[in-house]
Amino acid sequence: MGNESASPPGARSVLLALPSGFCAGVSRAVETVELALARYGAPVYVRRQIVHNRQVVERLRRAGAVFVAEVDEVPSGAVLVLSAHGVAPGVRELAAERGLRAIDATCPLVTKVHREARRYAELGYDILLIGDPAHDEVIGTAGVAPGRTHIVDSLEAARVVEVPDPGRLVWLAQTTLTVDETERVAAELRKRFPALLDPPSDDICYAAQNRQAGAKHLAGASDLVLVVGSANSHNSGRLVDVARACGTPAHLVDDPAAIEDGWLYGAAVVGVTAGASAPAESIEAVIAELAARGYRDVRTVEVAREGQHFSLPRELAETRP
């Protein structure tokens, strides 16, 4: 793997993993809000954070987006964008009842997991959903088949979860989990439920997997790994976990000014990556901050090529300039 550039590193250097930052699902969701504002004018309401990034949310707020926690906070008849993380069907029904013009920015890869959950529930299976029960995505996926979904958030939970029929079971996963930890939890479930079916296709998305591969590479090639992303970004947090699991110190950086001198002490090479919701400006700001602290030599390592692109929600398909 990797295409590290040939130039020799200076005494202190930055190694930037590619791909880093926005994935296709986040780009589509952010563009959805921007185009909705252009087409319908402000305010455009957005249920929950469109993507889990502070800078993105602030920028859209300044442009006229109004972020709400629930649909009943939106005045009837208004435009409402549903976030990239997906929603339970009941949320869409409530939006329709209130006469809202709902535009669904759910990432197509989350929608794919929803389809899997629906299909297995209709076939009479119970679903063991590996993920964080407090995360918007898991709340939405669990809401597709609420009576049949059991959330498993750890190895410990895998050891105690109870199901009505161990012979009709499938496991599915939150899209941004770490591949290694998810496989450990699934293996524990398989030990207890030998008839357990695997997901029909990989639920952990390409973007999470590529950024995790980047974090692993950085951990092996750097003295410190900095992950650009906000505190509530699940996939960014997992990149920190991946680097630390390799034995390399790692920190999440939302604000470059928060980089502590102590983290850099003795670090000749600082690895930088960014979660799928971190915009390019945030990555550039961290690189600029590191340059100001003496890390001026920036190399890149490309662990994967990404050409994914998702079409816009149909309400806006003709709006793209």
Task: Say if CB 50 and CB 60 are below 8 A apart.
Answer: yes
> Could you say whether residue 176 binds ligand SF4 (CB under 6 A)?
yes
> Could you say whether residue 248 binds ligand SF4 (CB under 6 A)?
no
* Shortest-Cβ-distance residue relative to ligand SF4: 25
> Could you say whether residue 30 binds ligand SF4 (CB under 6 A)?
no
> Could you say whether residue 205 binds ligand SF4 (CB under 6 A)?
yes
> Could you say whether residue 50 binds ligand SF4 (CB under 6 A)?
no
- Span interacting with ligand SF4, options 3-11, 106-114, 120-128, 286-294, rule CB under 6 A: 106-114
Per CB under 6 A, the list member of 13, 235, 248, 273 interacting with ligand SF4 is 235
**Among candidate residues 3, 6, 98, 26, the one with its CA nearest the CA of residue 275:** 26
Q: How far is the CB of 208 from ligand SF4 (least distance, A)?
A: 5
> Could you say whether residue 81 binds ligand SF4 (CB under 6 A)?
no
Task: Specify the residue, 25 or 271, whose C-beta has the smaller distance to ligand SF4.
Answer: 25
Q: How far is the CB of 315 from ligand SF4 (least distance, A)?
A: 19
Task: Specify the residue, 176 or 182, whose C-beta has the smaller distance to ligand SF4.
Answer: 176
Annotated catalytic residue: which of 137, 188, 302, 315? Answer: 137
Report the 3 state secondary structure along the chain.
CCCCCCCCCCCCEEEEEECCCCCHHHHHHHHHHHHHHHHHCCCEEEECCCCCCHHHHHHHHHHCEEEECCHHHCCCCCEEEECCCCCCHHHHHHHHHCCCEEEECCCHHHHHHHHHHHHHHHCCCEEEEECCCCCHHHHHHHCCCCCCEEEECCHHHHHHCCCCCCCCEEEEECCCCCHHHHHHHHHHHHHHCCCCECCCCCCCCHHHHHHHHHHHHHHHHCCEEEEECCCCCHHHHHHHHHHHHCCCCEEEECCHHHCCHHHHCCCCEEEEEECCCCCHHHHHHHHHHHHHCCCCEEEEEECCCCCCCCCCCHHHCCCCC
Task: Say if CB 168 and CB 121 are below 8 A apart.
Answer: no
Lay out the site mask for ligand SF4 across 261-280 (x = CB under 6 A, - = otherwise). Answer: ---------------x----
> Could you say whether residue 207 binds ligand SF4 (CB under 6 A)?
yes
Number of residues that bind ligand SF4 (CB under 6 A): 15
Per CB under 6 A, the list member of 15, 56, 100, 107 interacting with ligand SF4 is 107
Per CB under 6 A, the list member of 36, 109, 272, 286 interacting with ligand SF4 is 109
> Could you say whether residue 27 binds ligand SF4 (CB under 6 A)?
no
Q: How far is the CB of 301 from ligand SF4 (least distance, A)?
A: 20
Task: Say if CB 161 and CB 191 are below 8 A apart.
Answer: no
Task: Specify the residue, 205 or 286, whose C-beta has the smaller distance to ligand SF4.
Answer: 205
Active site residue 137: yes
- Enzyme catalytic residues: 137
Could you list the residues that contact ligand SF4 (CB under 6 A)? 23-26, 84, 107, 109-110, 175-176, 205, 207-208, 235, 276
